[in-house]
């Protein structure tokens, strides 16, 4: 398998695990519920494992920018869809700026090899 394709696949799994972990963190109610707390810990461990696999081929700065940026966006979507929370205009603009930053790094950065 292509190492870069594997790395981006692992990064995608890291992002999904991070978003799931954060969702279970919300459900754990400050660690007062055992099952959501254990699921949160398991998903966070999985996220770091898959991120470590992605770092075998991807530069840290690129991988972390994608992981953090997409994690924020997907967590915001989960907060709206699953937890029925609302995002105001400032939150949407800020999230948009994060996405734009990831796109700029991925597309135009010459300081990091990717």
Confidence (pTM): 0.88
Mean pLDDT of 72-84: 96
Average pLDDT over the chain, rounded to whole? Answer: 93
- Per-residue DSSP letter, 2: -
- Give me 80's structure tokens: 């709206």
Tell me how long the chain is. Answer: 114
Determine the pLDDT at residue 113: 58
Question: Which of 82, 64, 65 lies closest to 22, judged by CA?
Answer: 82
Encode pLDDT of 29-68 as tens digits: 999 999 999 999 999 999 999 999 999 999 998 899 899 9
Residues sharing a CB contact under 8 Å with residue 111, sequence separation 6 or more, in sequence order: none
The full set of domain ranges for the chain reads 3-108
């Amino acid at each position: 398998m292509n190492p870069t394709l594997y790395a981006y696949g692992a990064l995608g799994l890291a992002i999904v695990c991070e978003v799931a972990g954060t969702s279970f963190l919300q459900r754990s109610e400050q660690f007062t519920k055992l099952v959501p707390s254990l699921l949160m810990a398991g998903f966070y461990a999985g996220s770091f494992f898959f991120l470590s696999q992605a770092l075998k081929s991807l530069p840290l700065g690129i991988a972390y920018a994608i992981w953090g940026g997409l994690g924020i966006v997907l967590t915001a979507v989960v907060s709206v869809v699953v937890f029925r929370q609302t995002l105001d205009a400032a939150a949407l603009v800020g999230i948009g700026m994060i996405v734009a930053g990831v796109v700029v790094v991925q597309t135009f950065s010459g300081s990091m090899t990717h």
